[in-house]
Amino acid sequence: MQDNKKNKYYNFKYEPLPRWCSYWYQIHEVLSLQPENVLEIGVGNRIVSEYLKHSNTAVTTLDIDASLQPDVVASVIAMPVPDKSYSVVLAAEILEHLSFEDLKKALKEIYRASKDYAVISLPDCRRIIAVSIKLPLFNWMRFVIKIPFSRQSKTEDAGHFWEIGKKGYSVSRIKKEMRNAEFEILKDYNIVEYPYHHFFILKKK
């Protein structure tokens, strides 16, 4: 069994309350695609992979850090997995730890490993107003307002080479790289509860 005391991801400073909502969105988006199997890139705290497993989904974990005990120890830019071997490839808050040139390689590797879909989330440092209201006789209304200015983000401290909203890294540029990797972008959005996380749901063409 993994020793959680040595896992840096079990830390409330790393995982404030809103971040837990991001795990819900990862799980929801993956399960909504009704996958036969899933490749999760980045082990983290295993919350997502364990939930998926308990939902009767076959999950393979991959991470470059052997101490996290993933199923496969490898980099996302060179994954030792067969072509089209996973219904869904999940890469949540991982790709920003690569240089932008390696991001292009990673997207191509994700495309190669995926049989159908990819779910990707990335940090978005733009100033975003998130609103969630409940009106009488109506369901919850949730929306975000994006302001084209970056907020302060400890990019270097977090080990991020880049983030959406930083100079030179617009959403349109990220989408262009995803399309260059031959993905179709089904939808993308910032989650209301934690707008720092921007989700992309991708389908192979």
Looking at residue 96, its pLDDT comes to 96
Helices (H), the chain: 17-32, 47-54, 100-113, 171-180
Closest CA to 58 of 49, 66, 68, 48: 49
Looking at residue 192, its pLDDT comes to 86
Tokens of 81: 């997995």
Q: Residue 12 — pLDDT band, cuts 50, 70, 90?
A: low
12 compared with 112, residue with greater pLDDT = 112
| Unique residue bearing structure tokens 């988006």 | 29
Closest CA to 118 of 155, 79, 147, 146: 79
3-class DSSP state of 53 = helix
Please state the domain extents for the chain: 4-125+152-204
3-class DSSP state of 155 = coil
Q: Which CATH number, 3.30.1490.20, 3.40.50.970, 3.40.50.150, 1.10.10.10, labels domain 4-125+152-204?
A: 3.40.50.150
Q: Residue 123 — pLDDT band, cuts 50, 70, 90?
A: very high
pTM of the model: 0.85
Looking at residue 2, its pLDDT comes to 45
Q: Residue 9 pLDDT more than 70?
A: no
pLDDT tens figures, 17-67 = 888 999 999 999 999 999 999 999 999 889 999 999 999 999 999 999 999
> What average pLDDT does the segment 82-89 reach?
98
> What average pLDDT does the segment 92-100 reach?
96
> What average pLDDT does the segment 116-141 reach?
80
Q: What is the 3-state secondary structure (H, E, C) of 44-92?
A: CCCHHHHHHHHCCCEEEEEECCHHHCCCEECCCCCCCCCCCCEEEEEEE
pLDDT tens figures, 134-187 = 667 666 666 667 666 565 555 555 789 999 999 899 999 999 999 999 999 999
Q: Residue 98 pLDDT more than 50?
A: yes
> What average pLDDT does the segment 90-95 reach?
97
3-class DSSP state of 203 = strand
Q: Residue 89 pLDDT more than 70?
A: yes
Q: Residue 193 pLDDT more than 80?
A: yes
